[in-house]
């Protein structure tokens, strides 16, 4: 018997592993685990991309809202908007203060109010987009705006942006935990399948030993078998995950962009997902090798 140079990708096995019922079990459990891991990883990538857009679009910014007032003797909305802009322009740390037109405000509110957002009879607040260098005393500025331009409120993006970052981080940690749990379950499944195969074919293994086969030769038999099964299951799971993500993107395409983040994955993100079956296959092969060698040492 030739025990050296056995290829990991050989199609002929000295052990009749292909007839084991555990093979079908390992293929389907791998497909399920890769499917769940790919979805969890895709969620992590989408959340990370969304958090990056939040940082780029909202960091270092403020929004001032000037609401219409019905009190008698109150200054007009336009006058109070002009006053608020003057206060902002005179504030140290404010680099720009741009008043949004009623049409711009209507477009921002359209995802929630629909076409009614453009109704000129609807009392809409005026919004002022403020850009800062990060050194503005927002509390003092809010008090000054309320005193000089009644009906004005200051929204500091940094306050709720930090909450969104914390939420995104929590989602990423949860997804990572799911992937680790799936990896642990995959290891357990491979250990079970390999030990079952060793128990079923124990007499064949003993015969191979008598013929001069080493433990590493037997281990390579199981490695090749497990690799074939997990690769098939991994590709199946990845295909199901891709179909699921494509369905989610298709379903969300008809919704307005203001309600949901973009669910489309970039090409590099798809390549990252494609590495999940390869990682599962590598983990299974290493686990199979360790399990076989460790188990054979205990055999008489």
CA 173 to chain centre: 10
Lowest-pLDDT range, 18-22, 249-253, 256-260, 285-289?
256-260
Residue 298's pLDDT is: 72
pLDDT band at 22 (very low <50, low <70, confident <90, very high): low
Residue 246 has pLDDT above 70, yes or no: yes
Residues 137, 251, single domain; the answer is no
Q: Is residue 7 part of a domain?
A: no
Q: Which residues have a Cβ under 8 Å from the Cβ of 275 and sit 6 or more positions away? A: none
Region 146-157 average pLDDT: 84
State which of 150, 178, 204 marks the end of a domain.
Answer: 150
Residue 217 has pLDDT above 60, yes or no: yes
10 Å CB burial of residue 141 (0-12, 13-18, 19+) is buried
d(CA 213, CA 229): 24
**Kind of pairing, strands 94-99 and 61-66?**
unpaired
d(CA 33, CA 231): 12
Domain around 126: 68-150
Region 216-242 average pLDDT: 89
Residue 14's pLDDT is: 65
Region 78-105 average pLDDT: 87
Residue 181 has pLDDT above 80, yes or no: yes
Q: Which residues have a Cβ under 8 Å from the Cβ of 289 and sit 6 or more positions away? A: 219, 222, 223
Q: Is residue 9 part of a domain?
A: no
How many H-runs (helices) and E-runs (strands) does the chain carry? 8, 4
Percentage of the chain surpassing pLDDT 90? 18
Percentage of the chain surpassing pLDDT 70? 81
State which of 96, 126, 150 marks the end of a domain.
Answer: 150
Asked if residue 155 lies in contact with residue 125, where contact means CB atoms within 8 angstroms, the answer is no
10 Å CB burial of residue 186 (0-12, 13-18, 19+) is buried
Residues 234, 101, single domain; the answer is no
d(CA 82, CA 64): 12
Asked if residue 61 lies in contact with residue 132, where contact means CB atoms within 8 angstroms, the answer is yes
Residues 145, 192, single domain; the answer is no
Residue 230's pLDDT is: 92
Residues 198, 240, single domain; the answer is yes
Residue 71's pLDDT is: 65
Return the top range by mean pLDDT from 10-19, 116-125, 221-230: 221-230
Task: For residue 286, count other CB atoms closer than 10 A to its CB.
Answer: 14
Lowest-pLDDT range, 48-57, 133-142, 197-206?
48-57
Q: Is residue 43 part of a domain?
A: yes
Mean residue pLDDT of the chain comes to 80
Residue 275's pLDDT is: 93
Region 157-178 average pLDDT: 82
Region 47-74 average pLDDT: 73
Region 4-32 average pLDDT: 67
pLDDT band at 287 (very low <50, low <70, confident <90, very high): very high
Q: Is residue 204 part of a domain?
A: yes
Read off the tokens for 277: 């079956």
Of residues 179 and 118, more confidence is placed in: 179
Reported as a single tens digit per residue, the pLDDT across 255-283 is 655 445 667 788 888 999 999 999 999 99
> Torsions phi, psi of 154, nearest 5?
-105, 130
Residue 8 has pLDDT above 90, yes or no: no
Residue 33 has pLDDT above 90, yes or no: yes
Give how many domains the chain has, as a whole number.
Answer: 2
Region 39-49 average pLDDT: 87
Residues 248, 176, single domain; the answer is yes
Q: Is residue 112 part of a domain?
A: yes
Task: For residue 121, count other CB atoms closer than 10 A to its CB.
Answer: 6
* Listed residue (153, 157, 135) closest to 144, CA to CA: 153
Q: Is residue 286 part of a domain?
A: yes
């Amino acid at each position: 018997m030739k025990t050296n140079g056995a290829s990991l990708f050989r199609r002929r096995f000295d052990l009749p592993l292909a007839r084991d019922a555990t093979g079908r079990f390992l293929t389907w459990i791998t497909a399920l685990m890769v499917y769940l891991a790919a979805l969890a990883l895709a969620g992590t990538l989408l959340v990370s991309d969304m958090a990056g857009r939040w940082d780029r679009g909202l960091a270092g910014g403020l929004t001032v809202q000037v609401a219409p007032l019905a009190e008698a003797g109150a200054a007009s909305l336009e006058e109070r908007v002009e006053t608020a802009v003057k206060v902002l322009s005179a504030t140290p740390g404010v680099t720009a203060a741009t008043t949004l037109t009623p049409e711009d405000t209507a477009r921002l509110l359209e995802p929630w109010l629909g076409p009614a957002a453009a109704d000129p009879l609807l009392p809409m607040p005026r919004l002022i987009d403020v850009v800062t260098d990060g050194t503005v005393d927002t509390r003092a500025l809010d008090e000054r705006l309320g005193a000089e331009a009644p009906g004005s409120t200051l929204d500091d993006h940094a306050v709720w942006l930090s909450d969104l970052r914390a939420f995104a981080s929590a989602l990423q940690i949860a997804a990572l935990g799911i992937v680790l749990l799936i990896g642990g379950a995959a290891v357990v499944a491979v250990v079970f399948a390999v030990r079952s195969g060793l128990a079923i074919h124990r007499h064949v293994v003993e015969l191979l030993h008598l013929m001069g086969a080493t433990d590493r030769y037997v281990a390579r038999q199981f490695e090749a078998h497990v690799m074939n099964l997990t690769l098939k299951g991994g590709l199946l799971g990845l295909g199901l995950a891709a179909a699921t993500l494509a369905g989610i993107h298709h379903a969300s395409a008809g919704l307005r962009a203001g309600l949901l983040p973009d669910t489309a994955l970039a090409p590099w993100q798809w390549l990252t997902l494609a590495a999940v079956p390869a990682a599962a296959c590598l983990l299974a092969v290493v686990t199979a090798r360790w399990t076989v060698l460790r188990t054979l040492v205990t055999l008489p």
